[in-house]
Amino acid sequence: MKTFKMLSFDLISENGGQNIPIIDGIVINQENSHKSWILELFISKEYQSTFQKYKASGEVLEVHVIISFPDNEPAPFKVIVSDIREIGDRITVLLKGTIITQRNKYAEQLLKMLINENLPNDELLLRFKQGMRERPRLKES
């Protein structure tokens, strides 16, 4: 097993990402034959109903997590909510799932999309850097 410090957490939907501010978090690669990962979030209780809804439905969520260093690219996971526990005025949320293999051509697809927008060079560079950092879902072409 390998453990990593979680620095940020985003719930991803078709409308983009929702950042859930974390107080603390850990990511565990179980290094087993199922390639399982465990994510544990320590967050404000205000998000309890959101995660309870996902736990009750069993819905598979796509999440992006920045691990270890702030400049790392977000790691994408498909997870389910396994457990929620109250700790004072906060909660801990346990997620279980797998890491999503990154598309090798993401940078090229992002650049192609931005070039088609006919952006000025400075704006193109800015949007490309932002896209590589935030990894928005790209429209299929």
pTM above 0.75, yes or no: no
Beta strands in the chain, from DSSP E residues, in sequence order: 2-13, 16-19, 22-29, 36-44, 61-67, 75-87, 90-99
pLDDT digits over 112-130, tens only?
A: 889 999 999 999 999 988 8
Domain ranges, ordered by start, for the chain: 2-99, 104-141
Q: What is the pLDDT of residues 2-61, one digit of tens each?
A: 999 999 999 998 777 899 999 999 999 998 888 899 999 999 999 999 999 999 999 999
Where does the pLDDT of residue 81 fall: very low under 50, low under 70, confident under 90, or very high at 90 and above?
A: very high
CA distance 108 to 100: 19
Alpha helix stretches (DSSP H) within 3-47: none
Architecture in CATH for domain 2-99: Roll (2.30)
